Amino acid sequence: HVRCSCRASAERQQLARQQLARQLHVRCSFRAKKGGTMASKAFEKQLKAAAKAGGKRGVELEGARDMGGLDFFCTTIEEADGSLELLVAAQDAMNEEPDETAEERRGGAAPIGKMIFSAGKDALAICCDVPEAQLEKVNCKDWLEAVCKAVDGTVVMARDMRGWAIAFADSSKNRFSIKMKDDALATAFGYLREKGAIPELDDGSDSDDFILGDDDLGDM
């Protein structure tokens, strides 16, 4: 039984790495061949859209932290469409140092602990950041592993301050990305409350205070 479980876990890890490798191959092929293919151009367009959305979300996270005094959030990026590489591009854009001279301010979320989700048709992509100043409360690797356990996800890369993971949808097992995202969010919040990183809900707080998604931010 132990050997079978280990083999299944290894197979999931391999699938996750293969998917990421395929995505990286498309991106690298586009850059290596001038003009690229239609598929490469389409992916490059998605990459730019995800990065743009991430940069905007970074500013919004920064503002929410300044207003509410919170150090940790969960957020979503629909533009990544369940692609881990696209979500990593959004994550990088969130953490960029803002250019104060730019017409539109972007980034600024590097000092904020966050877990970022993107649900697509085939998978739920997850990225995580924990700044050094918050490591006494939360370790990114442990946080990510706890969430992956809840949704049968696979950790692709995990360090103390940064991590990536993916959970594959499987309709034959009633595993759908949107439902997995809900379960992952619940687990992410539970972990933060357990570590004392966010207030307990019985003190008047609401879990929505820590969720910044496309619908929530439209009302801010």
Q: What is the torsion angle, in degrees rounded to the nearest 10, for the CA atoms of residue 34, residue 40, residue 43 and residue 49?
A: 20
pLDDT at 103: 86
Q: Which domains does the chain have, with CATH numbers?
A: 48-218 (3.10.310.40)
Q: Is the torsion defined by CA of 24, 132, 126, 90 positive or negative?
A: negative
Q: Is the torsion defined by CA of 33, 37, 40, 44 positive or negative?
A: positive
Higher pLDDT, 150 or 68: 150
**Contact between residue 97 and residue 62 where contact means Cβ atoms under 8 Å apart:** no
Higher pLDDT, 12 or 197: 197
Nearest Cα neighbor of 183 from 203, 167, 200, 201 is 167
Supply the mean pLDDT for the chain.
Answer: 82
Weakest mean pLDDT among 8-12, 17-21, 102-106, 202-206: 202-206
pLDDT at 132: 96
Beta strands in 27-181 (DSSP E): 72-76, 113-119, 123-129, 154-158, 162-168
Weakest mean pLDDT among 12-16, 43-47, 163-167, 171-175: 12-16
pTM: 0.80
* Each residue's pLDDT tens digit, 152-177: 998 888 899 999 999 999 898 899 99
